[in-house]
Amino acid sequence: MRIITGKYKGRHFDIPRTFKARPTTDFAKENIFNVLMGYIDFDGARALDLFAGTGSITLELLSRGCSQVVSVELDRDHHRFIQQCIAKLQDEKNVQCLRADVFRFIKGCHQQYDFIFADPPYALKELPQIPDLVFEHHLLAPDGVFVFEHGKDNSFSQHPRFVEHRSYGSVNFSLFR
């Protein structure tokens, strides 16, 4: 796993082979962030990474200058790995790494974010409800962007806040505002 750009550009982190999470591929991550440059300035933004997995997006957001990144991951080993990666960057002041259930976090969160990224397991039965939950709980700030990574079997084009869909190989992203 590598950081694509920003102050930590090129930094690599080896993901343990025992991990269940599949990190967003470098190809897909680079392309979606290129698209996002037309939507948001990450410098100083408040960001939320839901289902953080390996922490790939969290690290990318830190590298791109977000003033605050909240990373939410339930799995103990994945959470610990994300914390270790952040410690290696020595950038703990700008990130909050929570070991928590995403659905409980969403229901109890009273903060808004300029950028939200969610990458749930593609087989998660609650996956289709996640965009609605983000908007029902007012997590996205005005003019914010929500990126939802999902499998090819899901379509969110009929969602009232849907903006566009991007596909990179087997990785699909739906963007919402």
Cα 83 to Cα 121: distance, rounded to the nearest angstrom: 21
pLDDT on residue 43: 96
86 falls in which pLDDT band (50, 70, 90)?
very high
Determine contact, residues 4/32, Cβ cutoff 8 Å. Answer: no
pLDDT on residue 5: 94
Cα 127 to Cα 63: distance, rounded to the nearest angstrom: 28
Determine contact, residues 65/5, Cβ cutoff 8 Å. Answer: no
pLDDT on residue 26: 87
Q: Please tell me the pTM assigned to this model.
A: 0.96
Pairing of strands 68-73, 95-99: parallel
Asked if pLDDT for residue 22 goes beyond 80, the answer is no
Pairing of strands 171-176, 140-150: antiparallel
pLDDT on residue 23: 75
**Helix, coil or strand: residue 95:** strand
Provide DSSP, 1-43.
-B--SSTTTT-B-PPPTT----PPPHHHHHHHHHHHTTT---T
Instruction: State mean pLDDT over 88-113.
Output: 95
Contacts for 96 with CB less than 8 Å, ≥ 6 apart: 68, 69, 70, 71
Greatest CA separation for the chain: 42
Please state the φ and ψ torsions of residue 52, each to the nearest 5 degrees: -60, -25
Instruction: State mean pLDDT over 17-21.
Output: 80
